[in-house]
Each structure stands twice: as structure tokens, then as C-alpha cells.
Amino acid sequence: MTEPASGYTRDGVPTFESVREKIETRYGTAIGAAELASETPEGRSVEEQYEARQKAAAERLARIRESMHRADDSG
């Protein structure tokens, strides 16, 4: 009923194996691209910028929480 070489049934429906193979190939390509991107100077720069923003956001949140606690204690 299926034609294994083509990855489709006679009705033109993709087989489970062909769909799984496509997904695994795309996943592997995405992982590889991400790894390569993180090895470039631009990729490292983006990671450093993200980490700096996360740190700044955490510090800002800590200051906001501290000011809220001071307001609660004075009232």
C-alpha cells in the first residue's frame, strides 16, 4: 500500500516515517545553526547584551521591591 522510497502512500498522504524524518532533519539543522551562531562574535555579543539586560532588570526589580517595603514600613 505504501511506496517507501517516496515517503507517500498511493493516495498522496505522507507516511509517519517521512514526517518524522523531516522533523528530525529540521530540528538538527536548527540546533546546528544555533550552535554556529553562538560561536560568532555577533552571537556572543547578543548573548552578552541579553545577560546585561537581564541583570539590569533584576537590579531594577530589587530596587522597586525595596522602595515598596520602605513605603509599607513608614505608613
Residues 14 and 7: beta-carbon distance below 8 Å: yes
Q: What is the pTM for the complete model shown?
A: 0.48
pLDDT at position 2 is: 44
Pairing type for strands 8-9 and 2-3 reads antiparallel
pLDDT at position 18 is: 95
CA distances 60 to 17, 54, 65, 69, 73, Å, are: 50, 10, 9, 14, 20
Quick one: DSSP state of residue 14?
B
Residues making up the chain, counted from first to last: 75
Residue 75 — very low, low, confident or very high, per pLDDT cuts 50/70/90?
low
Cell, residue 4: 517507501
